[in-house]
Amino acid sequence: MPSFPEYRPRRLRRTAALRNLVRETLLAPSQLVLPLFVRPGSGVRLPVSSMPGVFQTSVDELLVDARAAAALGLGGVLLFGIPASKDAEGSGAWDDEGPVCQAVRALKREVPSLVVITDVCMCEYTDHGHCGILRDGEVDNDATLDLLVRESLAHARAGADVVAPSDMMDGRVGAIRRALDAGGFQDTAILSYAAKFASAFYGPFREAAESTPQSGDRRGYQMDAANVNEALREAWQDIEEGADMVMVKPAGPFLDIVARVKAETGYPLAAYQVSGEFAMIHAAAERGWIDKERAMMESLVGIRRAGADVIITYFAREAARSLTLA
């Protein structure tokens, strides 16, 4: 490699046109997925206090947001449901008339250009807020699989393109794949939250999804933040069980995991820039400590550069807007 003064890297940084020409990582609206929170009723639009611009809405209002997302060229939406009532086993999760299933049907009818992904988990539906059935204070893995299967089937019946299990039970991807195939839904894809870490950065989401565990935490089923080899095993296991795409979550603090999973599996990879990552950028910008627009774009391009094909982010619309204007 030539060295100074032959090699002057600044030559290609001199103008915006030169920088644009040699930029290595591109971000497109079609790679962004917007999470949406849907609840029963009509005309409902409740702000989430810790996440500016994020709302819990009823299906009619969700369509307004989804149309705006489609007009900006976003790749898709990821749906979370807040049921009318919760119980110990989370039976609202497989209600064909629940908010998620209604939203899926409405989206497939009204906004067909968006990929519709549904979050599959029990924590929004259980009265104790854990991601599965509780037995002696712990989440019972195998008993939970049946509930996740029922939830996935309900979403597939409604017409979801992709179901995305986020519960971190062992064996759930295989159980869901077998049930989807047996039910005639062999074309419904699975995006597994393969490496989902027990993270402090989920705080604001739990207000949005009303899913805070009433006792304990999720360290008994979500991954320890220190583990990379285990993340690779999780990703391979989910792929072997039938996952079509895998996810790493959170994104920003786990970019090495994003890079490793992409490099070693070669599978389509999503990374989830979670609520706390979003809230931190907003909070610092509100105080005038950072430039929100630039911090947003830098965080997103960093996630792409690490190897994510798809980014799930609450910034999806803002980022798409700024990409279209740029």
119 sits near ligand PBG (criterion: CB under 6 A)? yes
Q: Tell whether residue 274 is a contact of ligand PBG (CB under 6 A).
A: yes
| 275 neighbors 205 (Cβ within 8 angstroms) | yes
User: Taking the complex as a whole, how short is the minimal distance between the CB of residue 231 and ligand PBG, in angstroms?
Assistant: 16
* Cβ distance to ligand PBG smaller for residue 19 or 126: 126
Q: Is 10 exposed, middle or buried (0-12, 13-18, 19+ CB in 10 A)?
A: exposed
Q: Is 121 in the site for ligand PBG (CB under 6 A)?
A: yes
Q: Which of 108, 249, 262, 292 is catalytic?
A: 249
| Candidates 60-68, 102-110, 119-127, 180-188; binding stretch for ligand PBG (CB under 6 A) | 119-127
Task: Report the sign of the C-alpha dihedral through residues 276, 279, 285, 289, in that order.
Answer: negative
238 close to 192: Cβ distance less than 8 angstroms: yes
First-to-final CA distance of the chain: 34
**Which string of x and - marks every residue 184-213 that binds ligand PBG (by CB under 6 A)?**
------------------x--xx-------
- Of 123, 148, 158, 195, which one interacts with ligand PBG (CB under 6 A)? 123
Neighbours of 321 (CB within 10 A): 14
Residue 262 among the catalytic residues: no
Nearer to ligand PBG, 150 or 183 (CB): 150
Q: Of 127-166, which residues contact ligand PBG (CB under 6 A)?
A: 131, 166
Within 13 A of 175's CA, how many CA atoms are on the CB side?
19
Active site residue 86: no
Out of 31, 275, 299, 313, the residue judged to bind ligand PBG by CB under 6 A: 275
Which residues inside 233-272 make contact with ligand PBG, applying CB under 6 A? none
169 CB-near residues (< 8 Å, 6+ apart): 131, 132, 139, 141, 144, 145, 148, 221
Minimum CB–partner distance for residue 319 and ligand PBG (Å): 16
Give Cα separations from 241 to 52, 103, 234, 236, 303 (angstroms). Answer: 38, 28, 11, 9, 26
- Give the footprint of ligand PBG on this chain (CB under 6 A): 119, 121, 123, 131, 166, 202, 205-206, 218, 274-275
- Tell me the catalytic residues: 196, 249
